[in-house]
Structure 1
Amino acid sequence: MEQKLQSFFKSGLLDSYIIGTTSVAESLEVEHYIDNYPEVKSEYERLQDNLEILAKADALEAPKGILDNVFKAIETPLEKNVVALNPKKQTPWYSIAASAAAILFAVTSIYFYNQNQILQNESLIVDAEIDDLRSDIENNNSKLDDLSRMLLKLNNPDSRKYLLSGNERAKDLKTVAYINPVEKTSMIDVVELPQLPPEKCYQIWAEVNNRMINLGILDEKDRKLQSIPYVEDALALSISIEPKGGSETFADEENAVAEISLKDN
């Protein structure tokens, strides 16, 4: 199922569907995935929200009534001033019209200049949002690739599964180790780790020829499938409680809270 979803996301059909460039058959396929897979529906809704920033309006129009307001503002004062200067001489109507046109041109030029500045600022914001959107898509694809590789390792017939359950000191502890001796890979799934005091931590070990090899610290906050070092000819795995930061050596077996033998599996 995960591989099928990964193939669908990689196909780019969902992105094409969002912007309306899919064929009828492709649209039906995308709608089938949206209706039947919650992951696809969630991604579709997220892309819709992000792409709303691209829905900018058409070209701006000058506010209605601006021409009437300009004529009202200049008509009476202009005529009174001309008459006062030369009472016997009437100002030609085309002079008044030319003055009005010049003022109108100046007003509208300033208005559209301001609007252009606003649009330029919005364009910069849109470009930044598009970059973020592309980054989100790349991150999602990367996560899907990682998940796919993990699933391939888990589904490999050579992988062996080991369940480590806690003893009396950590009854709720539960982790699952996956070891592939053919590909020489090891992974561990931290399912549940009981909370420890701040000065303590969990540490995982591999036993080889009566010697304990440090495989790293397990953090209760990092509950996910993760890789651990592969140890050739390991006889057992153990989890112990150690001082914060971990120990260089497995000093005390009483600190062990979980262990499992690997030689009989």
Structure 2
Amino acid sequence: MDVKEYIASGKLELYVAGELSPEENLEVQHYAIQYPEIRKEIEEIEKAILELTKAASPKMPENGFAKVKAEIDDVIPFTPQASSKGTPWGSYLGWAASVLLAIGLFWMYTENSKLKSEIELTNQEKQSLENILSDTQEEITSKETLLQEIRDRNVAVVALGGQTVSPESYAKAYWNKKENKVIIDAQGLPEPPDGFTYQVWSLKLNPLTPTSIGLLDDFASQDTKLFTLENANESEAFGITLEPEGGSETPTLDQLYTLGAVGS
């Protein structure tokens, strides 16, 4: 037999990978016992695969091969014929190396998937923080804009004092006649009960003529309690009443919470 040609045939690599039939495995084992060159070549192939597996799966426990071999012993009772010249040197090594390589590759796949999940979670957290930062920046910008509007030289400040239904209530109206806009600071009003909302009225005093200029909706969720309303009226006073949700055509006078005259 031409040993070099047999080694170059690729059959030994298939043997180590566990891809040969039982009959072919017996043939390779027989030649390995008979020809030291073939046995050495098999050992070199197996050594190379084990080194590759070790590099690909550094977290594999040192006794991992022994465990795999034990599992294979239970599942694949494959025991080739021994030669009279010695004891079988690697009955299960070809099968075990193949299984061990598969385990190493599976570990790499699992670690890679875990890493991708961690990266995705980090990206989601980063996006969430960016959204929070963006919302915070918008809120700061909005508050700064309102502050500048309140400080405008064209703004008249009208103090609204508490009335009979709620003497402790108070509010302020910042009226910019030039821009036909009123900013209501309702910090001094109690939270309206369910099913009710505050309604703001522009008043002409003689004769008394109320005109609705808007509702203070979403009162509970508005942290600043600053509400911007349109007001193109020649207002002489402002009043705030408690009305059913959706507002009323005319103010409910016994639910007048605050009232204040312009220029008082």
- Bin the TM-score by the shorter chain: 0.5 to 0.7
Superposed CA deviations along residues 144-198 of structure 1, whole A, max 9, x for unmatched, are 1111111111222222222111122211211111112233321011112246665
Amino acid at match of 2:185: D
**Which stretches in structure 1 are left out of the alignment for 5+ residues?**
1-59
- When Rg is computed on C-alpha atoms for both structures, the one with the higher figure is 2
Q: Is structure 2 residue 165 aligned with structure 1 residue 153?
A: no
Relative to structure 1, is the Cα distance of residues 69 and 196 closer, same or farther in structure 2, using a 3 angstrom cutoff? closer
Q: Specify which structure has the bigger relative contact order, considering alpha-carbon pairs within 8 angstroms and separated by 6 or more residues.
A: 2
- The structure with the greater share of residues assigned to helix is 1
The residue aligned with 1:125 is 121
**Which stretches in structure 2 are left out of the alignment for 5+ residues?**
1-55
The residue aligned with 1:71 is 66
Relative to structure 1, is the Cα distance of residues 61 and 193 closer, same or farther in structure 2, using a 3 angstrom cutoff? farther
Distance (Å, rounded) in 1 between the aligned partners of 2:215 and 2:130: 35
Distance (Å, rounded) in 1 between the aligned partners of 2:236 and 2:165: 23
Aligned length: 201
Shift of 1:237: 0.6
TM-score by length of 1: 0.62
The residue aligned with 2:98 is 102
Superposed CA deviations along residues 91-147 of structure 1, whole A, max 9, x for unmatched, are 775786555433321111111212222223333323322222221121112111111
RMSD: 3.3
The residue aligned with 1:227 is 228
Q: Is structure 2 residue 243 aligned with structure 1 residue 242?
A: yes
**SS in structure 2 at match of 1:246:** coil
Q: Is structure 2 residue 261 aligned with structure 1 residue 261?
A: yes
**SS in structure 2 at match of 1:202:** strand
Superposed CA deviations along residues 209-250 of structure 1, whole A, max 9, x for unmatched, are 743110223365246111012233211111224344321124
Relative to structure 1, is the Cα distance of residues 247 and 212 closer, same or farther in structure 2, using a 3 angstrom cutoff? same
Identity %: 23
* 1:172 and 1:194 in contact (8 A); partners too: no
Relative to structure 1, is the Cα distance of residues 199 and 102 closer, same or farther in structure 2, using a 3 angstrom cutoff? closer
* 2:57 and 2:105 in contact (8 A); partners too: no
* 1:206 and 1:231 in contact (8 A); partners too: no
The residue aligned with 1:218 is 216
The residue aligned with 2:186 is 190
